[in-house]
Amino acid sequence: MEQRSPRAAVLAVLAALALTGCQPAGPSGTAPGADAVSEAADRAPASAPAAGQAAVDVLATLPVKGRAAKTGYDRDRFGPQWADVDRNGCDTRNDVLARDLTDETFKPATRDCVVLTGTLADPYTGTTIAFVRGDGSSVDVDHVVALGNAWQTGAAGWDEARRTALANDPLNLLAVDYSANRQKGDGDAATWLPGNRAARCGYVARQVAVKATHGLWVTPAEHDAIAQVLADCPGEPVPAPTTAPPTPAGTGTPGAAQPYPDCAAARAAGAAPLHRGDPGWSDRMDGDGDGVACE
């Protein structure tokens, strides 16, 4: 999803907040500010598993509960799609594509942010896929713990900043085959596993790591399905955190992007539309004051 990888702090998001109680959900459709999401992502949770810890041991620490109702679920409750929560000047989808693809090319004048082409060794199907930006039917970025599943296993009680951090956590994201991702939908391990059997141990280990890191629970069926997969690979480790990316050229100090001079520059950089709090945001570009500029 190159040699850059998203900020490691985002991998350790917010499970510690579960110890202090849930916060009220933000209004639907209201994007949390980047500072709120960054603060959420920078809190190291007490329950985050150590890199290399056996997934089967981490699974044993997860609460097992029934599935909550899906009432109120909407993708928008997890913040703007592909926000720039690590504030490196690139949206999360392009960060993940740059991490997971090889032989990438980038859109000119985007500071190597917008991925135009590349090659994916797809973990879900075991096939090799040529990615071309805009083709709409080759590569998706999958939430390994689906957002609908997260909503029903704890996230419904969170505020939007916490949900946005989960939706953009690189630990929970993989570039994968488009059709396999569509088949998965909001399925958990009890209803969907990768067709590529060689990828299943790593897949469920990543789900376990995400749920432990973010303070989500597993249903009895989900727990048993994961345990069944891990029985064939009891030493499978949870994924190691990635390292922080370099600060993109021209953004100044780490995590602080300079405002775009105008919407033409934002569009040329592939950053439009901008939401209040996004890197490069300036209030002067938001003529109607709705929190969205350069639509």
293 domain residue, yes or no = no
Instruction: Give the type of residue at 214.
Output: H
Q: Which domain holds residue 53?
A: 8-241
272 domain residue, yes or no = no
| pLDDT score, position 28 | 39
Number of domains in the chain: 1
| pLDDT score, position 268 | 63
Please tell me the distance from the alpha carbon of residue 114 to that of residue 12, in angstroms, as a whole number: 25
Please tell me the distance from the alpha carbon of residue 168 to that of residue 189, in angstroms, as a whole number: 21
| pLDDT score, position 70 | 96
Q: For residue 117, how far is the Cα from the chain centroid? A: 21
Q: What torsion do the CA atoms of 93, 99, 104, 107 make, to the nearest 10 degrees? A: 40
| pLDDT score, position 244 | 35
129 domain residue, yes or no = yes
287 domain residue, yes or no = no
Q: Which two structure tokens, joined as six digits, stand for 142? A: 């999958």
Task: Give phi and psi for 165, each to the nearest 5.
Answer: -60, -40
Please tell me the distance from the alpha carbon of residue 16 to that of residue 113, in angstroms, as a whole number: 31
230 domain residue, yes or no = yes
251 domain residue, yes or no = no
Question: What's this model's pTM, rounded to 2 decimal places?
Answer: 0.70
| pLDDT score, position 281 | 65
43 domain residue, yes or no = yes
With a cut of 50, which residues of the chain have pLDDT below it? 1-30, 42-46, 243-257
| pLDDT score, position 262 | 76
| pLDDT score, position 88 | 85
